[in-house]
C-alpha cells in the first residue's frame, strides 16, 4: 500500500491541479467506490457538485480534499487509495481507463480528476471535519472524523518526537509492529519501517521497550530521513500502480537498502539480505547488521 511519501506526492499534484476549482459534476461507477459512504454513490455525487476545493490535505497515509459546498460548512472527501487506487488529472476527452470508477469535472472546463482502482480496495467517502486534536496550523479546516485517531506523522510540524518515543518505550510489542501502529506515529508502512530499521541496525522483532529512548529517537529520525529522501524521488514504485497525478512513477526503489533486496548483499557488510514473514507481510533485514533477538525459552 502507498505510504507517506507516495501519498504526499499525490497530494502535491492535486494541490497544483484542483485546489481553488469548483466541481461541476461527479460521476461514480458502481457502488463499491462509495461503499464507505453510507448514503451511497448518488448521494456523494450530488453533495460534491458545486463545491469548491479549498485545500488538499493529508495526515500520515490518509488523504482528503476539503470541499466547501455553496452556503454550507466545509466537508472532507476522504480518498482511500487502498492497494491500487490512483488519482489522475487528465483531459476530459482522454481515453477512459479500464478500471475507472469516478470522474470529477470542474466549472472551468479544465482537466478532469479521475479515480482509478484496479483491485477495488480503495474508495471515496464524505466525512465531517473536526478540530485537530493535536493543534497546529497544518490543518486549518480540521481533520475528518475517520482520521481523528491517527497520530501526526514525522513530517507534520505538530509531530512530537519525545511523545512518540515515550509511547514506543512503553510498548512491549516488537518494534516494527509499533512503527506500523498509526496511533503511535503515522505514515510509516512496511517499506520505510524496514529501511529505518536497517539504517538503525535494529531487528524489527526486538521489543520496543528493550530499546533505549535515544535509540528509539534515532529510529524515528531514520524513518523521517528515508521518507524525505523517497519524497524527493517521487516515492517508491514497484509497478505501474503507484503513480503521481500525471501517471509518472517514483524511483526511490532503486535506493532501497533492505526492502525487496532478498539475497542481495547488504550495502554495509555484504551479508545477503533475508526475508521473513511478519504480520502477513514481509520483513527484510541484514542478519549481521540487525541481529535477530533470541526467542524466549518455553
Per the CB < 8 A criterion, the answer to whether 208 and 238 are in contact is: no
Check if 8 is active-site: no
Contacts of 25 (CB under 8 A, 6+ apart): 45, 49, 104, 105
Helix axes 161-169, 213-232, angle to 10 degrees: 120
Check if 98 is active-site: no
Contacts of 88 (CB under 8 A, 6+ apart): 97, 113, 114, 116, 243, 245, 246, 247
190: nearest Cα among 280, 119, 274, 123: 280
Instruction: Indicate which residue of 276, 281, 287, 293 is catalytic.
Output: 281
Instruction: Indicate which residue of 3, 8, 90, 174 is catalytic.
Output: 3
Q: Which three cell numbers stand for residue 199?
A: 539504517
Instruction: Indicate which residue of 11, 47, 58, 61 is catalytic.
Output: 61
**DSSP readout, 162-210?**
HHHHHHHHT--SBHHHHHT-TTTS-S--HHHHHHHHHHHT--TTSBGGG
Check if 281 is active-site: yes
Which residues are known catalytic residues? 2-3, 61, 281
Amino acid at each position: 500500500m502507498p505510504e507517506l511519501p507516495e501519498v504526499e506526492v499525490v497530494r502535491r499534484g492535486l494541490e497544483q491541479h484542483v485546489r481553488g476549482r469548483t466541481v461541476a459534476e461527479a460521476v461514480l461507477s458502481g457502488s463499491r467506490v462509495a461503499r464507505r459512504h453510507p448514503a451511497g454513490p448518488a448521494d456523494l455525487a450530488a453533495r460534491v457538485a458545486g463545491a469548491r476545493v479549498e485545500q488538499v490535505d493529508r495526515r500520515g497515509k490518509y488523504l482528503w480534499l476539503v470541499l466547501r459546498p455553496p452556503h454550507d460548512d466545509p466537508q472532507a472527501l476522504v480518498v482511500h487509495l487502498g492497494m491500487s487506487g490512483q488519482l489522475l488529472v487528465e483531459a476530459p476527452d482522454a481515453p477512459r481507463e479500464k478500471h475507472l470508477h469516478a470522474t470529477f469535472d470542474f466549472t472551468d472546463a479544465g482537466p478532469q480528476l479521475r479515480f482509478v482502482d484496479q483491485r477495488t480496495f480503495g474508495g471515496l467517502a464524505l466525512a465531517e471535519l473536526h478540530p485537530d486534536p493535536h493543534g497546529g496550523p497544518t490543518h486549518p479546516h480540521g481533520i475528518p472524523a475517520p482520521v481523528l485517531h491517527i497520530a501526526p506523522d514525522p513530517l507534520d510540524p505538530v509531530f512530537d518526537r519525545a511523545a512518540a518515543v515515550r509511547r514506543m518505550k512503553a510498548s512491549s510489542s516488537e518494534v516494527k509492529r509499533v512503527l506500523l501502529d498509526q496511533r503511535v506515529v503515522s505514515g510509516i508502512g512496511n517499506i520505510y519501517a524496514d529501511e529505518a530499521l536497517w539504517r538503525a541496525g535494529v531487528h524489527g522483532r526486538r521489543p520496543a521497550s528493550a530499546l533505549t529512548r535515544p535509540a528509539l529517537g534515532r529510529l524515528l529520525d531514520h524513518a523521517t530521513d528515508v521518507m524525505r529522501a523517497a519524497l524527493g524521488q517521487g516515492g517508491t514504485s514497484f509497478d505501474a500502480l503507484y503513480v503521481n497525478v500525471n501517471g509518472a512513477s517514483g524511483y526511490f526503489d532503486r535506493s532501497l537498502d533492505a526492502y525487496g533486496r532478498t539475497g542481495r548483499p547488504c550495502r554495509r557488510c555484504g551479508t545477503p539480505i533475508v526475508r521473513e514473514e511478519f504480520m502477513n507481510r514481509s520483513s527484510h533485514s541484514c542478519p549481521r547488521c540487525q541481529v535477530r533477538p533470541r526467542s524466549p525459552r518455553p
